[in-house]
Amino acid sequence: MSGIEEWSDKNSLNSFNSLKGLAYMEHYKNILAWMDGKAKLMPPVECNIDPYAECNLSCSMCIVQRYLRTHREEVGEMRKLPTDYLYRLVDFLASWGVNGICLSGGGEPTLHKGMVGLPEYIVSKGMKASIFTNGTVMTEELVNSLLTCQFVTLSINATDRETYKQIMGVDLFDKMLANLKYIAKRQKELNSDSFTCVRMLILPENCRQIYNMCSMAKEIGLKGFNIRPADYERSDIEGHHKLDLPVDEIYEQFEKCHKLEDENFKVVTTIHKFDKKFHVFNNFNRCLASPLLINVLSNGDSYVCADRKMEERYRLGTSFPEPERILNWWGSEGHRMKLLSINPRTDCLCRCTFNQYHRQMEEVVIKDSMMLCFP
């Protein structure tokens, strides 16, 4: 799939472009040397923290619904990271050499009272902060904090109350809309250059609202719009199946969305991680790139990747109560053997967030398919 359909020429070097992976060449080479037993594993580029394993919505396509709803016992007693621990974790990650911290879910991070002030603290330690939120829980203090993030992703999946309720399971549409407007207003007042972006997942219920959502985000004064297929095929989603979507109609809306782009509003219609009908498409053979990122879940445990959270087979270790415990298992023989034992073709029946990065490592680093000695 050509990049032209996903973003405009002017906006081709955006953060959703998986070619970004090639900028991690030093990490790619280090990971491969480590997997061959010839190097010590570098710290990850990013840490993804899930502060709270609860959510006030109940989305049909939620990729963590297994442990939020149906198998809640998988999380165990501890569903929330203590605030003082979050600060100690940030201290450790900064000193370890991690560059970015994303506050996300496993749940809705803004339900955790410790979120106010945390992004500023991350930035004060020389790292970049980001957050994913459903936008339903906002206060002035929280919004001020969030606007210090490099990006704020607002996961919104409907442009009217009925559809919102149908997809998100709860009637918080009006509240969410008021919050988006407030975020845009504060962003102007604070002159914040945070990339405040609405992210929508394509579903049968909302696939005719894509253009409306994009215009709504622009009209409100947010900075961007990202649309991508929902991963409804992953085996841990209740009633998972291949979605049958009106593909041509969706592409037409994508085109219209791109016409809304200007200097202050960016549009990315992500499809390169899926096939042309928006189905899961993993074109790589080995799990190689996962050490670019470490996740810390609400119980202090870490797993191989964001797509395999709370699955015992993919558990790497814990960083609770002392964040330094990460050093006991990060880059260990157990970590290495775990990655070597994964067969993505049979083990990972879901969209793999890092699918393009694994492929780059196979093609560009191992096979040198881009002939890197010839710029």
- Near ligand SF4 by CB under 6 A: residue from 57, 203, 280, 365: 57
CA angle 356, 359, 364 (to 5 degrees): 115
Closest CA to 98 of 47, 51, 48, 49: 47
Three-state secondary structure call for residue 92: helix
- CB of residue 142 vs ligand SF4: minimum separation in angstroms? 16
- Near ligand SF4 by CB under 6 A: residue from 42, 47, 55, 147: 55
Give phi and psi for 296, each to the nearest 5. Answer: -125, 115
If one counts every other C-beta atom within 10 angstroms of the C-beta of residue 160, the result is 12
Q: Which is nearer to ligand SF4, 122 or 304 (CB)?
A: 304
d(CA 185, CA 267): 20
Cis peptide leading into 321, omega within 30 of 0?
A: yes
- CB of residue 217 vs ligand SF4: minimum separation in angstroms? 17
- Near ligand SF4 by CB under 6 A: residue from 48, 159, 290, 356: 290
x/- mask, ligand SF4, residues 93-112, rule CB under 6 A, reads ------------x-xx----
- CB of residue 355 vs ligand SF4: minimum separation in angstroms? 7
Is 305 an interacting residue with respect to ligand SF4 (CB under 6 A)?
yes
- From 82-90, 91-99, 248-256, 344-352, give the range in contact with ligand SF4 by CB under 6 A: 344-352
One-letter identity of residue 268:
V
x/- mask, ligand SF4, residues 6-25, rule CB under 6 A, reads --------------------
- Near ligand SF4 by CB under 6 A: residue from 110, 134, 153, 356: 134
x/- mask, ligand SF4, residues 64-83, rule CB under 6 A, reads x-------------------
d(CA 160, CA 144): 27
- CB of residue 153 vs ligand SF4: minimum separation in angstroms? 11
Length of the chain as a residue count: 375
Name residues whose C-beta falls within 8 Å of residue 278's C-beta, 6 or more positions apart in sequence: 202, 229, 243, 245, 247, 250, 271
Q: Which is nearer to ligand SF4, 223 or 308 (CB)?
A: 308
Total residues in contact with ligand SF4, by rule CB under 6 A = 22
- Near ligand SF4 by CB under 6 A: residue from 101, 230, 342, 365: 342
- β partners of residue 197: 153, 224
201: left (phi over 0), alpha (psi -120 to 50) or beta: beta
* No. of helices (H) and no. of strands (E), the chain: 13, 10
- CB of residue 295 vs ligand SF4: minimum separation in angstroms? 11
If one counts every other C-beta atom within 10 angstroms of the C-beta of residue 143, the result is 20
**Binding positions for ligand SF4, rule: CB under 6 A:** 55, 57-59, 62, 64, 105, 107-108, 134, 155, 287, 290, 304-305, 307-308, 342, 344, 348, 352, 354
